[in-house]
Amino acid sequence: MTDQSVSNAVRAAQGPFADTRVMIPLALFALYIIWGSTYLGIRLALESYPPFLLAGIRFLCAGVLMFGLLRLRGVAMPTARQWRNAGITGVLLLGFGNGLVCFAEQSVSSGIAAVAVASLPLFAALFSGLYGQWPTGRETVGLVIGFAGVVVLNLGSSLSASRIGAIALIVAAASWAFGSIWSKRQDMPAGPMNTAAQMLAASVALLLVGFGTGERLPAHPTLHATLAVGYLVVFGSLIAFSAYLYVLKNARPAVATSYAYVNPPVAVLFGVLIAGEHVGPYDIAGMAVILLGVAIITLFKQRAKG
């Protein structure tokens, strides 16, 4: 029996969920649909929960669950340096990144918030220059096109009516991008423990900001707002991120990051169909131009790596 035959036999014995040909499409479906729907989940949860406490509760619950499961499986505790680095990264990615998205969605539709956050790879390409990896000429074309899309998006009625929301979304995307670039050069916890540590650190920062700015937990939250929080914890923070880690490990990076193109239109569709959100021509044009710029940058980065 050949090695390939043995491998096929083991895969068959373990069932279809051990087959990457089955799991990768399932994981991508989770990334596309679940992560695309979390923007609407935030919008629904905001009907009862204030933004920073909402994000803090979400990541506290998800972080405690993930950290506890990892410790039960015998995963080692992060070192003091790793806790520090995970804390800084968590505050940048989840504190500023997700917390400001929640803040912005008080005045900006969920679909437009997703479109604005799609500019994240543009900021990542810029911040890479701080470490000597300046964009190439062709990548610069993608940057110019992408940021032109951000300008077009801000001309639309959705963001022009809420300048504070627009600024919050831009800062959120820039913070997530900078945190991602910075963390790649730091000593971070291994695997899922990195995510658990980041969520725990971010939850503390978000809860401090929430209570410090006068936010209070609702005495009588609506049922669907509380269910939305649960959805964000279980599906948005645990299941979808586990799917992302699986795809990142078992597929090409371009496949793993393809959610960046799919989430904005999915979020817009959910917002229109379920929440009755309005999408104007500037919003659609801005989304198209931003995604074109992101696609150009990603395409040339993949070619350079190849």
The model's pLDDT over 45-87, given as tens digits with 9 standing for 90+, comes to 999 999 999 999 999 999 999 999 999 999 999 999 999 999 9
With a pLDDT cut of 90, the percent of the chain lying above it is: 39
Enter the tokens of residue 46: 């905001």
CA distance 114 to 38: 9
- Please state, in angstroms and rounded to a whole number, the distance separating the CA atoms of residues 118 and 105: 15
Q: What are phi and psi of 266, to 5 degrees?
A: -65, -45
Whether pLDDT at 189 is above 60: yes
pLDDT reading at 248 higher than 90: no
pLDDT tens for each residue of 108-129: 888 878 877 777 777 877 887 7
Distance CA 92, CA 97 (A): 6
> Region 167-195: what's the mean pLDDT?
89
Give the residue from 118, 12, 101, 119 showing the smallest Cα distance to 51.
101
**Among the listed ranges 155-164, 214-223, 234-243, which one has the minimum average pLDDT value?**
155-164
- Res 306: pLDDT: 53
H or E segment and range at residue 157: helix 157-160
Residue predicted with more confidence, 76 or 151 = 76
Share the mean pLDDT of the chain: 83
Global pTM value: 0.80
Confidence check: pLDDT of 196 > 70:
yes
Residue type, 25: P
